[in-house]
Structure formats: C-alpha cells, structure tokens
Structure 1
Amino acid sequence: MPRFYASTAALSCIFVLLGCQWSSSNPLASGAAASTRRLLDTINIGFLAEYSQMRVTLGGLPLAIEDVNKNPYLLPGKKLAFKPVDIGHKMSAYRVKPLRAMTQMRESGVTAFIGPDESCTTEALLASAWNTPMLSFKCSDSIVSNKSTFHTFARTLAPASKVSKSIISLLNAFHWNKFAIVVSSKPIWGLDVARAIQELAEARNFTISHFKHISDYIPTTKTLSQIDKIIEETYSTTRIYVFIGEHIAMVDFVRGLQNRRLLESGDYIVVSVDDEIYDSNRRVNIMERNYLDPYIRKEKSKSLDKISFRSVVKISMTYPQNPHIRVPIYGLHLYDSVMIYVRAISEVLKQGGDIYDGNLVMSHIFNRSYHSIQGFDVYIDSNGDAEGNYTVITLQNDVGSGTSGGSLAKMSMQPVGFFAYNKHSLIPEFRYIKSDRPIQWLNGRPPLAEPLCGFHGELCPRKKLDWRYLVTGPLSALVVVVAIALLIKHYRYEQTLAGLLWKVDMKEVTVINLGEYNNPSNKNIFQICRQSILVVGEPNKRSFTNIALFRGNIVAMKKIHKKSVDITRSIRKELKLMREVRHENIINFIGASTDHGSVIIFTTYCARGSLEDVLANEDLHLDHMFVSSLVSDILKGMIYLHDSEIISHGNLRSSNCLIDSRWVCQISDFGLHELNAGQEEPNKSELELKRALCMAPELLRDAYRPARGSQKGDVYSFGILLYEMIGRKGPWGDTAYSKEEIIQFVKCPELLQHGVFRPALTHTHLDIPDYIRKCLCQCWDEDPEARPDIRLVRMHLKELQAGLKPNIFDNMLSIMEKYAYNLEGLVQERTNLLYEEKKKTDMLLYQMLPRPVAELLKRGDPVEAECFECVTILFSDIVGFTELCTTSTPFEVVEMLNDWYTCCDSIISNYDVYKVETIGDAYMVVSGLPLQNGNRHAGEIASLALHLLETVGNLKIRHKPTETVQLRIGVHSGPCAAGVVGQKMPRYCLFGDTVNTASRMESTGDSMKIHISEATYQLLQLIGSYVCIERGLTSIKGKGDMRTYWLTNRHQSELTPDLISTVDTLDSYCSAGRESMEHILHQYCNPAQNNYRLGSCKCDTKCLYSRRSDDNVTNSHVTSEFPKISEPTQVNCNQLCICRLNSSQVFSNRSPRSAPSITFRL
C-alpha cells in the first residue's frame, strides 16, 4: 500500500471529477435494459456521502474499487463500479435527498449501498425494507444495531460502547473483580461506555464499589476540589479505578491520587479509556497535561506525573500498523467497507447465490473477522458492529535502554497488549504483544482488587491465641450475665403477678344508679343518654351500661357470669397482659374485682356507647369524614392488637367498638379468654347468633375453634364491620334470610348453587367506591390465606382516609362542660345557706322573674323600667307545629311541648341567659340583662342556639316516635327596655325594635338553622371562635333588606379559665362606671412589680396607654403613671379590650402566672 499515501489528494480530485461526470451523464435516468446488460459483467454499488466534509476520506472508495478489479480472486469475470451521490449537509434537505437517490440507484440496479456518514437510521431502515445490503464507515447511531429491524446493515466503525468489552477483558485478566467507575460528562459517549461496563460487570458477578460523575471538566480550583472529593469518598474501599473522560481530567485525577501518596506503593491502578488513536510520536508528553492546555503554565518538573503514570493503564484505539498510512481513520473504514462487501458477494457467487439477497450477503459478513487495511484483524459481531481493535498502553522502558528498574528518564507510554476476538466468546481475550515485555508493575506484580485482609482488615483474624481462653471466658461471663438477667426478669415478673396491680378494691368504687329503663335494648345511645340526664333518680329508668366512680373517674363495669372463679396463674397472666395494653384506640383495662366470689371487670367509660348504637341512630348523619375517622381508629387498634401479645381479637363487631366523648373509636371485649370461659351469660343463644354473623367461615366450621380466633378471621370480621358502617343496615344489610339461615349458608357454601354467601354489594342504596368494594371482596375470601393482613387492608383503604384531620369539636365541648360544672359548683357552695332558708314560693318566683327584680318585689320596692344599651335576643319555634297539632290530641301536644321546654330549661341553666316567655311553640331567651355581661351576651346566645340545635336532633316525639322535632332559630343584638308589667302574676317583659327584629330573624330563617343579624355577627367576630356563613340580603318585614348570616359552628375557645375569671371580675367591677386604668391594675396586679405593660387589644380598638418594660412599647403614649381615662373618642364602650401582660405577674390573691391577661371596659 505505499501508493496510498502518495496518491490520496489526486484520487480525491479524480473521485470528484468522476462523480461530476457521472452526474452529468445521469446514468440513473437510463433505461432498465441498459442496466440489465451492464449487470452481466459489472456490479454497481451506490455511495452516499457529504462531499464537503469528506474530501480527503473519499479517496478510499476508488482505491478499493481499483484493488478489487485488479484482484483475480475477487469477483472473477466481473467488474466492480460505483455510483456516488452528494447527499449534502445533514441540516439541509438531508432526509429527502438520500432517500430519493437510493430509490433511483435501486432502479438502476445497484446491489448495495456504501454510507452514509453521520446519521444513517432512515437510510438503513429503507435498505432493510428492500433487502439490500448497506455498509457504513462513519455512522454511530446505536439503534441500527437492532438486527430485528436493520437486518441488512453493517459498519466498520466500532460504536463507542464496544470498548467496554476490552475493559472487562483487562479487568478479568488481572482478576480485578472489584473496582470503581469515575465517568466525566465529556466525551458524550462516556456515560454509555460506563453503563455498558456496568452491565457486563453484573453479568460476570463483578462488584462496582462506586459510580461517580464529574461535571464538565475545566481545570480550575473548583473542579480540582471535585476530584479530591471523589478520591476522599472512594479510596478507602477501592483499589482499581476505571476512568472514562478527557485526558486532561484523567491526568488531574491521577495527580490527585499521588497527592495523597496512594500510588507510591503500587496498590492502586487507574484504567483509563482514551477515544484518540495511540500515536507513538507523543508517547512521552501523553503523561503531561500541558500539551492539551496551552494556557497552563509549564511546571518546572514533571517527575510527579511520570511517577503517577506507573499506575496508569490506558486503553485506546489501535494505531494503524501499516507505517505508510497517513490518512483519516474514516478513509480506512471506507476502504474496509468495500472490501468486506466484495469478499461476501464473492462467496455468494461462488456458492451460486443471489447477490441481490441482502440477508444472504450479510450472513457472510456477520460473526466474522476481516483483515483491515490498518494492518490488524477486526471482528464484526452478530449485530453487524465492528468490535474495534484496542491497545493497552502503559509506562514501559524504552527499547534499548538496558534497564529494568524503571528509570523515569528512559520510560515512555508504549503499547503492551491487545484484545483478540472470536465468535465463541462475547468478551475478547487480552494478550501481550510480546510475551517477554509484560506490564512493568510498580511493585513487580499487579495490584489486588481487594487487600488480602480486606479494606478494613476484616478478612484476617488477629494473632491466634488459645481459642479455649478466647471463647470460654467471655462465653462463661455471657452465660452468667444472661442467667442473672433472666432470673431478675422472672423474679420481677412473679412479683408483678403476685402484686395484684390489676385488683380493684370495691371500697373505692361508688356505683352510679341512673335508674332502669323498661327495655334498654330498644333504645339507642342518644335516647338513653338524654333520658338518663333528664330523669335521674327515677326507679324505673337506668343507663345503657353499669357505671361507677373509681378514684374520681367514671368507669364501666362488666360482670363475669360465673358462680365461682378461681384466680389461677394463667388468669393472672391474662389480667397482667390486659393492664399492659395501652393504645388510644384500645379500651383501657383498669382492673378487676374478685370480692365475694364474683369477678367484675372495670374499663374506661365511653359516653357515646357502641358503634352499633351510633349506626342504628337514623338522626345522626355519618358523613365521609366521620366514617373515615372511625375506620381509621378501628384499623389502628386492630394493628396494635395483632402486633401485641394478644395476637387477635376473635369477636370483632360493631357492639365491641365503643365511642368515647371525643368521637374516638376504641376496641373492647378482647383477651381474658380463660377468665370468660364457661360463663353463663343471659340471652346466651342470642349473643352467639350475633357473634356468628361476623365470624369467618373456617371458624364457624371448627367445633374446637380457639377463643381468640385468628388474625385472618379478624380480617373477615372487619370486612363485615366495614360493610355495616357503609350500609347502616346491620352486618348483612337488607336480606330476607334469618340469622340462622345466614350462618348456615356461610358455614356450608355447598347449600347454594352460586357458591359462597356474602353480604350483597349490589344494593341500589349502597354507593361503594371500587377500591372499597375490592377490599371487601379480599377480606371475605373463602381461603383464609388469600385474605390480606390488617396492615395491607389499611393500605388498600388509604384513599378513604385522604384528607382526614383530628376532630377538635368534642374537645371544645369537654372544656366548656368542665368550666360550667366548676362554675355551678362554686355558685352552689356560696349560696347553700341562702337556699336552705328559701321557701318553695321563692323558688317559683325566681323562675318567673329575674332575681334582682324578684328581690325588689319581695321588699315592696317599685320596679322601674331599665334601658340596656346592647343585649342579644333569641327566638325559636317548632317547624310544622300547626300541622303537627292538627294530627295530635291536645294532651299529646301539651306532652310534647312539656318535653321540649323541659329540655330547653335544663340547657339554658348552663348559660348566662334569661328565659323571657314561651307562647305556644315559640321560645324567647335574652342575655345581657338585667345583669349586664359586656359583649358576652352574643356569645352566650350563640352557644345556646348551637346547643339547642344539637339537642333537638335527639328529641323524639312520644306519640310519633318516627318523627323528630325540627327547630328554627333567629338571633339579633341591639338596645332594648325591660320592666315588670302587672301586679298579679307580674311578668318581666322586653320592649323595643330589637325584639321585633329578633322575631323577624326567626320567621325568615330555615329549618334546623340559626339565622342571625349583622349586629350579632359583628359581636361574634369580636369574640371569635364562631363560624358564620353569609346569607346575603334578606327582605325583613318593616326593615327592608338586611344582610344576615347563618351561625353554623364554634371552634374551641381561645379564652383560658384564668382569663375568663378575670374578665368576669373586671367586667362586674367596671360596670358601675368608667374607672381609671391605673386603679384597675393596682386592684388586680401586684403593684410592687413595676415591669408590666399592656399589649395590643384583640379587637379593633387598641389600648390607649402602656407602661414601659423595655425598649419596645405599644405606642407613643408612654407615661410613668397611668392617667385617668376620660371619655375616649371614637371608641365603642361595649367592646372588651383584652390585653396581655408581657412579663410574669403575681396576682395579689393568686399563685404566680405566666403572661396573664386582663380585660377592662373602655
């Protein structure tokens, strides 16, 4: 090939001229007959290329054609010709022009296509569709390797990822099965190579200890610190680095290792991948970074780089072994493409095949090696990709240096090995170029992938001592410690059992007798709770469960129906275990009493009864949030039980899910199986039927089923319970079958033709989402093992609990009830002596008239009418009362009104209000007179209205038990006059426009809603915590259009008990007149401490004065003493200004408080 180098430029020009001549003659337009004649002795191939970018490379094509035609062994009796086409730049009409050219070439009879360069996906797909061979010399698209689509495509340019096989071969040759990969973002093929290495490593069970990335590398302080960080994170757990990146980044990486003195011992190695062809002319400066970066100042000594490169193994593309070739590599690949095609069709012709059959021709190219013009063999795999030829380069002694010690001055980077491919192995074999010139390792041997003793010395035992001393001593000590620990644990356990911590002394128990009900099983929880409050003390009424007081707490009592009970050790263990079970959704076991030979179990009292009662109450609307909260509570409780020593429940049903006052569901009636065994319960047969309705079929069939059931049985029972909560029609919904028939069908599914019997999910009234329906079917599976566990059930119902928030409504009610009870007790304690001396006539008088008015009348003093600046009045009536009266007798109407007014009277006693009068079904209540209470009258009436609406929903009409009372409430605030009218049966009456407006609020309202005026709304906004919804403009008779609101709810009060107490005291003090602020503070705060100041009011009006406590003051009005308050300008005197003291104060009559609040009237 000596002539190749000399004639390259000339051949390129000839090629262009030939292409132009061919284009001018336009052979593609010649007839098919002429093409057919030429095919008798000439084989044409089409050439697709971009002339402007391939002028030097194009010379390889005519040279290959010339060599083929001169070789008598290739295409004997035939000639090879080519038809070139300039496809232009790829950014122009690239996708159209080559396809048009290929079509014209095919019509002219070409047998194959050479090219195109760069992208070739579309052309290769078209060639595969025609079954025409296509060989590319420059295309790097990865998709064309898919031979299921591109089955007639091959290329002599090896894809970048092919180097991964050579890397794995090198690692395997030196047993480097543990290594780290460091890949840079440039070159762009680096990440593909790294992933290919990762896949091959996993296939051979190699371990990749680290996979690190380097961003675009520019030799700056920042990027050098990035390399140092990677080395810091990896050097302790790796010895072999595979570096894929630019040469300049690799040099700095190697220097970073040397700076840590890691390369001096020869224990570390860096395998670098270079995308450039190795050039022996720069085998020395390849170790330096200066030749790549002219802006880096040349350093005085490069010995550091040379020392570092003793531990570097580079893999680069093999340099052409023919010393006369000095052309671009793509020209060589073009030459090889023509030659391997000619050899393939020569074999086809020799075997009598059809050279137009692309698949046949490609079968003589795939999985074969060819001798490249570069001077070495290249293997083409089954995907038509050239494997490439790579060389291993290391720092070696120069030939003839006569030294083996590795003098740095006489060493350079030289090729030492190559990779041999064969069709029987995916990975090539690493071989030395010369067996007598192996790699000159720094310490005379290849480094190990892992130290013999491991990276942290974990693989090498310490110096061996007598194993008997090493084992016997610590083992004996361990045995002694464990034995002592077990003895202590057993002793404490026995002491706990013997200590009877679970035992309850009946002397500490006070049974609460709420009376007995005629038939409590026919009453739901709300009826019973309401009636038990209203009729305490009547002998024929009782609560739904036995309750008692134990150490100041209300507890529930359950008697074990046994004639005698022997508290054995196993029963004590059960009682101890029950006492240790603590969870917010599990009923708390307080203890048990075994006095007098009977056993009574005590648990926490749940005021709202069982879930069965809640579901049976049709007046209670269970919205999505309500059901979601209850389901979540049950699931959390069951998960806790299944994870505890209880293991399972065994009797999960709605009657065993109790609801406390905060609407939290707690699971009960679990455990204590030995204690409950053999008891004679009343109505035992009925109870057994109810239990069996929720029991799993496998437990029904088991005559010797365990008392605790099974966890899978609990999942089945939960499905029944969930169905009951959704449908609210009992465990099995609306079914025509009796309980006995249902149990029999579940127990024996063969009695039914359609298989297993389960609750119906197709009822029209059931709106069950698909995920709940699917969960129910899984829970009801006949095979227990196919049912999910309770945790998986919770995951299936995760969507049901979406958006669930804690319920604080009942928490607010609890605080209000405690406050009301404490206040009533205080009033009762201070007025006990007075009440003892009062007569029944006085009690009647106080019920008819306000107490101050009654006292005046008793003394004979005249009662003068009084004007009140602002009060709040409530009117309510029963919706549909007229229609109700027409269908009821007068006695029934009176009885109904008596029930309702009695209930209302019991409710208003908890609020600072006064019942003015009742007319028919109308009920009138006022707050703020005759004793003024500041602005609290609006809050008192609002709370009362909410309480009335809550209570009326539970009120049943005795003669019409299926109907409930519907209430309509109206509220308004404003000034009014009040006084006593008449001498015989005097009445305390209210007068003024406020009364009429409040009545209009009621008459224009809606059923079961609270209609309030804008004046009341403004007061409630000042108080806070009340939720109102604007109704809009409402036409009010005599008033025109008024803006009104609906009162819907109240949040938990923000007022603390101390603040409320202070408000009451200060309000009553200030009601007599406007007093100075200084006098108020000195009256209720310790004047000795001069470090308090007033903050901002929680209302629109701000405090006008403040005292300095630090540099921060409320406003500019700062004085050493509080001045007297005269008439403030533009201040509503009915507003309460709530101010907080910013530092700790000591009330003169109380213990120290932190940041207390005071309230005064402006």
Structure 2
Amino acid sequence: MQQSFRMKFYILKLVTWPLTKWKLTCFEKQYRKFSKLLILTLGYPSNLDCAAQLAGIWNIPIISYTSSVSSKADNEKYPTLVSVSTTTGNSLSDSLVAIFYGFHWTQAVIIYNIENTDVVNRVTYLLKQFTNTHVQTTAIQLLSNVTEDLFMSRVSLADIKSTTRVLIIIMGDSLSSNAPVLRLLRNNGITSPQFVIILPWLVPTPEEQLPWVNENLTTDYSIYKDYADTFVLDSDRKRTNITDRFSSRLQDLYNISSTTAYKYTTLYDAFKLYVLAVNETFSQNDFQTIKNNTQVYNDMVSLSFEGASGLVQMDFYGERIPNYAIYVINSTNNSTGLTPIAAIDPKRVACNTSSTDEYQTLDCYMLDIQTDSAYDAFWQDVFKKVNIPACGFDGSKCDNSKWYIVSGAVSLIVVSGVIIGLIYRYEKQKHLTQMPWRLPIEKVEIIEHSDRAISTRTNTDTSASSTTYLQGTKGIYLNTVVKIGRYKQLKNISFDQVEAHLLLSVKQLVHDNINPFLGFCYNNPSNELLVLWKYCNRGSLSRYLHNTEMHMNIHFKTAFIRDLINGLDYLHNAPIGYHGKLNTNNCVIDANFIVKLNPVELDDLLEEWKASGSIIPYASDNESVPQNNNILGSALDLEGLTEESLFCAPEFLRKAPPNHIKLARMGKSEQMRIKNQYRSADIYSLAMCIYEILFRQHPFAEINLPTQAIINVIRNPNRDQCRPKIPKMLNRDHHPVILNLMQACWNEDSVIRPPIKRIKKIFSSVYKMKGSLVDSIIAIMDQHANSLEKQVKERTRMLEEAQLRADRLLAQMIPKDIARDLKLGKPVVPRAFTSASVLFTDIVSFTTICSRSTPMEIVNFLNDLFTGYDAIISQLEAYKVETIGDAYLVCSGIPVENGTDHVKVIANIALKMRKYLVDYKLPHIPDHKMEARWGLHSGPLAAGVVGLIAPRYCLFGDTVNVASRMESTGKPGKIQASSEFHFLITQRDDPFIMEKRGTIHVKGKGERVTYWLVDHRQPPVSN
C-alpha cells in the first residue's frame, strides 16, 4: 500500500534582505530550530551568494526563485543551490553568444557599468565565451553616473564606427539604467537602425515600467527616441494553462493583478519543484529518506514540469534552463512597446554528442534561435548592416593605393582621349579628302551579265535597292565576288561636304549583319558609273522565304529574325542612325545563311544624279527599273506606290519624310527629331519582316484588294487599324511573347513602339542562342544540308520510279535484250534467225460476238482475254509480237536463240491458252461458249526494230505466213501444227501427243500434211 505524508512550510519573516551580521546570526538560530529541510531565497545576488554558501555547509537545499549567482556550474562553492528564476546568472550571456553564433556575427562592442558587481560578473563570463567562439570584442567600462566628458574620454566613437555595427549595453539590471548611454550615443551619431544595439534586461520585475512610460502611463517621446529600433533580450514569458489558472486564482482570492501575480509564479514553481523532488525520493525509499537532503537535491536536478511561469527544465547544475526572446522597440508602427521578433529556446540533444561549440551546449540542451517569418525582410536588413565589408567599415583592410593609381590612370586616359579625338578628327578629314569609296575600274572584272532585276513578285516590286544591289551584274574586285550596279555616266561627278560624309558613313558600316558597300567607279574613260557591293549568293531574303523547296524550321526563322534585329540595332547606334526602307527585298543572305541588311543611303544620292542628268540607267536596265524609285512615291501619289510600301509606317505613308541627303543638310536638332521618327518607322518595318519570316507569306496577302487600296486604308488614321492577320494554324508554332512583340512593333502610335534595344533583349530571352555565332551558322548549314539531302533522296526515288515505269513499258513493247541495247545507245541491227517457232491464234465467231456487243464491251473483253494470254507468255521463254483485232501472235527463239526449245515453248503456250479459254466466260455474254483456233509453225525468220515513233520489234519471213495459214485452216478448239513443227518436236521427244490430220490445201503452198497438238503425254504409272 502506498504511503502518504504531509509537509508543513514555515515562512521566516526574520530573514529579510540584505543580510547583515546580526541577521545571519538569526538565520542560523532559525535553521537549528526548524526542520532544516528547505530554504527559499528572495533578494540580491550578493546576499544569495552568502546564503547559498551557508546552505551548502549545512547540506540544506536552497532554492532561489528571483535571482541566481553569477558563477555558473560551481558545485563545490554552492553544492545545494537550485534556481527556478527565469533569468539565471549566465543564461543571458549564453543567449547573447547563441545570437552571434546563429547570425554569424564576429565583432561586437560591449559597454557596461564597472560599479555593478553583478554586471561585471556577467560581462566577464560573456567575454570569456566570446573568446571561445572567436568573436572579437571591445569592452568599454563606464560609471553609473556617466557624464558627457567622461563618456568622450572613455569611448572612441571613431573606433566603434570602424570596428563593428553591433553594440551590447549593460549598465544595470533594468532597461532604464541604459538611458544615459543611449542618449550620449545618439547625440554622437550612433543610433539604430544604422547600428544594432542590444539591451540585455538582466532582472525584469513586474513593477518596472518601460523607461519611456511615465507614472501616468503616457509615453515620453524624448526618451523613446533614444530607445527606438534597439533590441531587448529578455525572458520569453510564455503563458501556460497553469499560468492562467494561477493568475486567475490569485486575483479571485487576494485581488492580486496579473502583473503583480507574475512574481509569485516562480515562488509557486520553487515549491512545486521541491514537492516533486521529495515525492520522487519518497516513492523510491522510506519516509526517512526525504530528510536526506543530498537525495532530495539530486532528485531536483534535471526535473522537468509545467509550472506557473512556463515550462521548467532543470539542468545538471541545478539551474533552470531559460527561454529567451529578442524584442525590438519598433519605431515604424504606432506601438511603443516591445515586439517579439525571435525566440531562443533550448533544444534537447544527445548527451553523448561531443560539441566543439562549448557555449552552445548546456547539459544535453542547445540554444536554438527561431526567427518570426513575418520579419524576414527586417532580419535581412539587419544582416546587411552587420556584415563586414571586404575593406572593413573604414576601408583600412584594403590597399587604397591602387585607387590613386586608377585615378591617375583615368586622368591620363581622359587627356589621351582628348588628344586622340583631335587626331581622329584630323585623320577623318584627311580620310574624307582621300575618298576611300573611289575604286579603280581597271581592277573590276565583270564575269556575268544580268540585265533583269531579281524579284520574287512582279516587276513593280523592285524598289530603289534594286538599283544598287539586286539590279546589275556580277563581277570580281580584288579576289572578292561583288554585285555591280551599272549606269551610263553623262557628266563628271563631284561630292560636296554633306555627300562625302554620307558616303564615308556608309563605307564605314562594318557588321556581320550589314552588307558592306565597297565603293564607286566613276569619272573613268569608259563613261560608266559602277556601284559595288559584296555579293551574297543566296539572293534576297524575300526570294528565299517564298521558295517552297527550302525547308525552314523554327531555328532558321529565329536566326533570320535575330540577324535582322542585330543589323537594325547596329544601324540605330551608328552615325547614320536608321535604315529607312527596311523590307525583305532589301535584305540578302550570304553563303553561311546570315541575313545582311542593304543600306539604302546611296539610292537617294543616285536619284539626285539621275535628276541632274549626270547618270542614266542602261536601256536594258531601264525596262525593269521603275521610273519612281522612292517606295513612298512622289508627293504621296498612290499610283507611284509599290507593294514594298506595305512595309512603311503609316505616318510616313501620310507624310513622306526627307531622304538621307536632305536630312544630312538640316540642322542637328532637326536631324535628331527626324532620325527618331525614322527609327520608330524601322520598328514598324521590322514587324512586317518578322511576320513574313514567321508565316512565309507577304503582309496583307489575305486581303483581296489592290496594293493602292490597302495603302489607302493604312494611311487613313480615321479608319480601323489595318494590320496583317496572323494565321490561326501557324499561330501555335510560335512563342506568344514574340507574336505580342510583333504586334507591339506595328502599333499605330509610333511612341508606343518598343525601341530596338528592348526588342533585342526580349527576343534573346525567349530564343536563347546556344554556342557562338559560328556554331549557330554550322547548325543552320547542317539543317539546310539535311533538307537538301532529303530533297535529293525524294527526287532520286521519283526518278527511279519513273525510270522503272519506262523500263516496264519499253519491255512490253520490245524484247528486254533489244530494250537494253536501245537504252545503252547501241544500234539495233536486223537479224536473221535459222529456226524459230510462231503461234497464231484467232477467236472463233468473233464477228457474231461483235454484233452482240458494244465497242467498249469488245475492248474490255479483248483486254481481259489477252491479259490472261500475256500472263501465260510471261512465264515462258517467248515474245508477244503483236495483236491485230482478235488475232494474237507469239514467237519463241528470237531475239535470243534457244536451239530447238522454241517448239516446246510454243506447244506449252498453245495448250495453256486452250485450257484458259475453256474456263473463260464472256463477261457480258456468259452463256456464249468461247472457242479459238491455233496455228503453229517452225522455220527461219528475220526480225528488227521498225520506226522511230512507237517503234515495234517486227517479224518477217514465210514462217509467219505459214503459221497464219495453220490457224485459218484449223478447226475450233483445235491446235494445228505444220509438218516442220511436228518434225522438230518429234526429234526432241518432248512429252506431247500429236495426231496426224492428213493432207490439206494451204493457200499459196499447195498440199501440206498437218498435225493436231492434242495434249501433254501422261507419264507412265510405276508399279
């Protein structure tokens, strides 16, 4: 049966604090008078130190519930001391070290009160732990009543600013003791949030108000500003069910408020700890053991229970493992209280786990920092301030001498740049005088004449670009293949300053996606003006896009669009500043499938020379070059607009801009304004080019209206916006971002159209280019090679099939051997054959059948019947010579001689034909019995190919006539053979049954003996 007991506690009112010599004497007398089982302490840490040592001597458990000694884990000095205080002597310091470890902070400044013994002990322990964890610290000692002069003499503000951004201030037990130091720091520019200032609250008491709260519970903002944005480290006052019930009961019984009741919670936990330990001791031994203070003390150590002040966890040293929290005095909201932003909770770890972080392990517990996710951005801002820059906060960790060197170098570069600019200006003027665009005509070799413009549509599609590139001839200049535009020069040509600068700008255009202009040949004895461009052998982009034989996947299309964007980007950033007439006809493709833009500035110059009568196109060229080379027309005459005008922006269709020459003669500000308009118009034209590349159809091709009517709709701003329609089926094949970008580029409002830089950035992000430009070119060429290879295979297959059909047709018309000789080009010489066999067959009563049938039925009937005969012949070594009406002529032994085998072949054919005819039913007269006559004869023959049109292999000789007579004198269903045929077949001893018919009269031959071919001879039956 379980025993029970009751305990009586005596409250010794004589034991008051602080302890004096007289009170210690009284304390000893009371100890000897009463049960000597337990001492509960309340008071100052210095008094607790004395009382704890006495209790250790007397071996009496002493429980502190409001404070703790400073020396942690000193079992020899305090062997019976137990503390349930929420803030123990060293746990606050351990929490600070845990904060630095968890946030990876490595430097700190500690400002503390040297006159406060408890503060000094805590800071001493804290400095030791910081040293063990490799945190560099600077300790600054101050007095309680610090003055500004003393502060300035002790504190080096410059050292603080150059060392760290974290300050720990411990001037006393309460928060209000830190107010003078915070005021002095703020006056000298060290405040939050520029610095992280941590205020450990050593001994919080329920009666203590926040420093900035007055007696009437109002906020003193002059003090509050000193504390704003600082961090407070205090116990985490987590409420439990017991806490709520305990506070509620105290209020009901004793009218004690919840704030005042807080100080009784640890007293309650002290009693509960002792009672639980005694109960544990009593349950294990007899009643006398509860007087064994050593056993009771051992049972109190490492106990864990839910108390009124929260979760109570005792460590092996008899101290309560505290729960701390980090609070911020927030100045960004209306609250003037403490806002919890992180918790520091003990986390149990394996006791046998060795830890290199000595400060962090507390007897099988580790302090773990848990930040509030709602304050992640706040902590990131804190980390940015605390992290040490690579050169330190004052730059002393970096060698700044290099910056002086850099400054000197920059100055030198600036001076050098000015000098180089002056030299460049001089050289440019000199270069301009030398006219680098002038080429000697003697070095130009014309290798190909092409009088017609290359165009993918009608002749009216050829714009001004045809004059300088697409139109003209092909030649060689200095081992470079060039495209030459040729003109008849009537007057000497000279250049003014504006024209010379324009030509130099075009000459200096060097980019992978710009087709280079090589120069002019002019003022020469031949009175010719030649315009030379680099030759791109794959022609214009428009012609390539609309060549259905060219396979283009998404890689081809994106590569072409990327080239257009890169070329246009280069022009927009070049001195010229824009293109002006961008369309797919003005773009060419070189051998590496790189799209190059043709600059069109020279067209305006050529037009001025034409207008002045200095040059005229050659007559042959004049047929294909339109008289009006301006794609915008003359004074916006709709009749002068071409289909390339569909690429022009609507604002330019409404009002034509000045050409390149006129623009170059304007002022700088006017040039900038119009160039910006041209750039925006280039973006519109780029959108049309992208449309044509993606869908491989001309813009507005779906609109069934004349070009002039479409242009009239586009240029009218009062109508609905007219733009190319995106095909629904092809829409799925392309990225929606690119389609949206294309539509943004052809916006009616030129201001809304995106600039080329933005277009390039968006396109590059959607279609990332893998590898270098060369890799992309190689990949494109591989794809094109594969496409060509497939085309070659398909064409080869089609050719082989056609050849096979032709061979079969030829073999049906003439013998295979003769057909082979004809294909090889060998002459077919007529030949004479000494022995061959001929078969003639004719249908009996064919005239009667014809009278009962329509012509189509006769044709179908003969085709069906003779097809069966053809199948029989194809199995044997024979040749069908021809069919005449219902007559069928077969021969064996020609053109390949086979000895006397031809009689056997012809005999087999005749028997097979007869058997086939017996089973044959006339489709449209099924009740008619089909019968035929066959005539066989052997003898010499001559054969050869007759005619060039529908050639036939024909037989000549009396043998054919005799075979025909054998058929005509025969009887229905009978096979009649001549005596020559009978003789050969008898000599061979072939298995055929022959019966003698007798002597008959043969026209032209007189009396002849003939035989019937009856059937095959049956083999003898073996025993």
TM-score, length of structure 2 as denominator length: 0.37
- Larger Cα-atom Rg: 2
